[in-house]
Amino acid sequence: MRKFYIVMCPLLLCMAFGLQSVAQNITISGDSIATFTINKTMFREMKQAVVMAKAHDDKVHRYTGVTVANLLAKAGILLGDTAKHKSIISYIVVTAADNYKAIYSLPEIDPLFANRTILLADKEDKKLLASENGPYQMIVPAEKEHARWVRQVVSIEVVTLKQ
Ligand SMILES: Nc1nc2c(c(=O)[nH]1)N[C@H]1C(S)=C(S)[C@@H](COP(=O)(O)O)O[C@H]1N2
Ligand SMILES: [Mo]
């Protein structure tokens, strides 16, 4: 029986962490790009940005993660001057593990237009996000409502209006 536990405990732990790492991926899709999956390692290796923003608790927190602009660029979405005519007819749909969704227009994301940084955070005040919010949460500074601070983000879809 002891042998059983010695074998089963590490196995179950590995399975639990394995399952967790699946949920730590973010899928980015869109008509003009091949579906792209970012895992935890890739996310950590991307340029880290910091945003100070007032959360739903009415307190200012320090969020760390990757800007949504950089995530989209990494997935092959064109931003900036060359893409601005396409940007103004595009938006992203961010979906959470509970299927909660919010949209953001590309000009809100693209630094060419935007005067604030929208972040996909994995840390709050230098600590990993709490499991009910993370592993990834949308941080949308200076919004009066927090409905677009999507928790437990699993995918981002880019939609461009048909002309
Ligand atoms: N995944 C997910 N994210 C979500 C929601 C949700 O239902 N599911 N509710 C939103 C709304 S309406 C608000 S006001 C805030 C609430 O954030 P809080 O739980 O940190 O107060 O989360 C937002 N993000
Ligand atoms: Mo809300």
CATH number at residue 79: 3.90.420.10
Q: Could you give the CA distance from residue 68 to residue 74 in angstroms, rounded to a whole number?
A: 10
> Residue with the nearest Cα to atom 10 of ligand 1?
147
In a domain, 11, yes or no: no
Across 95-100, average pLDDT: 98
Q: Could you give the CA distance from residue 76 to residue 34 in angstroms, rounded to a whole number?
A: 8
Res 149: pLDDT: 98
Query: 4: which residues sit within 8 A by CB, 6+ positions away?
Result: none
Residues whose beta carbon lies within 6 Å of some atom of ligand 1: 56, 96, 98, 100, 146-147, 149-152
Mean of per-residue pLDDT scores for the chain: 90
In a domain, 121, yes or no: yes
In a domain, 17, yes or no: no
Angle at 99 between CA 96 and CA 105, to 5 degrees: 65
Which residues face 158 on adjacent strands?
30, 92
Across 57-67, average pLDDT: 98
Tokens of 30: 């869109």
Ligand 1 atom with the smallest distance to the CA of 153 is 1
In a domain, 118, yes or no: yes
Across 69-93, average pLDDT: 97
Give the domain range for residue 116: 22-160
Across 6-14, average pLDDT: 48
Q: Contact, 137 vs 55, CB < 8 A?
A: no
In a domain, 138, yes or no: yes
> Residue with the nearest Cα to atom 13 of ligand 1?
147
Across 49-53, average pLDDT: 98
Is residue 22 scored above 60 in pLDDT?
A: no
Amino acid found at 79? L
Which ligand has the nearest atom to the CA of 102?
1
C-alpha 113 to ligand 2 mean position (Å): 26
Give the pLDDT band of residue 163 (cuts 50, 70, 90): confident
Tokens of 80: 């900036």
Res 109: pLDDT: 98
Res 14: pLDDT: 45
In a domain, 119, yes or no: yes
Res 8: pLDDT: 54
What pTM does this model have?
Answer: 0.89
Amino acid found at 7? V
Is residue 5 scored above 60 in pLDDT?
A: no
Is residue 25 scored above 50 in pLDDT?
A: yes
Nearest residue to 69 (alpha-carbon basis) of 8, 162, 138: 138
> Residue with the nearest Cα to atom 21 of ligand 1?
56
Q: In what order do the strands lie in the sheet with 33-38?
A: 33-38, 26-30, 153-160, 90-96, 101-105
Q: Could you give the CA distance from residue 81 to residue 155 in angstroms, rounded to a whole number?
A: 26
Give the pLDDT band of residue 3 (cuts 50, 70, 90): low
The number of distinct structural domains making up the chain is 1
